[in-house]
Amino acid sequence: MIQVKSAKDIKSMMKACELSQQVLMYAGEIMKAGMSTLELDRHIHDFILKHGGKPSFLGLYGFPGSACISVNEELIHGIPSGNKIIKDGDIVSVDVGACVEGFHGDNAYTFTVGSVLPETQKLLKTTEESLYEGIKMARKGNRIGDIGNAIQTCCEKKGYFIVKKYIGHGVGKDMHEDPEVPNYGKPGRGPRLIPGMTIAIEPMVNMSTESVKVLDDNWTVTEGNGKMCAHFEHTVLITEGDPVIMTQISH
């Protein structure tokens, strides 16, 4: 059942999304070669607590970290580890959410560390562009399929592959709510968007195949051929007018 938020709900959720945005930006600022993903996760954890929130991911479905930190061919759900050291030339996806006043924010960004290959930079640029193409369609009266189609079209015309096994979602009092928000679809299909809906739009894009593999830790999802992949995400509010990006990151 889709949850339509009240003005009071949205006010609380804005606080959660603001903190989610701040901690994601903080992660990008402190990330450096030589740092383990576990060290990065501990900084993220402490930042959220210091600023009055709770890490949304910690313990969610049994996840052991405060953020999903996925490196290079890892697409999503990377478990922070002291043995995983970030290196120059890596790309690092950080997916993190904070809970404030009973509501969650959710956002992700794939960061570059040092000098990254041009072909990888192109993948990241296209994936981020597809996120904003999807957000453009998150308007009153449109349907979920309009969002997915915009994302899919943007990525596939550049030769990349949409991962269909994992999708976006509603977000609010629960981290994962209805409706499902696929990164593919047909225009005019799916649930209609109405003001007060809050959804996480999150294109997950592979360089060489739409298939993925799950590692033996039962969490980490990798690009099916071991190539690079990217993940970007915002929490978005449907309004009477333009969509509001609740987790807007300033560049």
Average pLDDT over residues 118-143: 98
Strand ranges inside 60-218, DSSP E: 67-71, 74-76, 91-96, 98-100, 103-104, 107-112, 161-162, 168-170, 177-181, 198-201, 204-206, 212-214
Reply yes or no on whether the pLDDT at 211 is more than 70.
yes
- 0.85 cut: is pTM over it? yes
- For 11-55, write each residue's pLDDT tens digit: 999 999 999 999 999 999 999 999 999 999 999 999 999 999 999
Look up residue 215 and give its DSSP letter: -
What is the average pLDDT score of the chain? 97
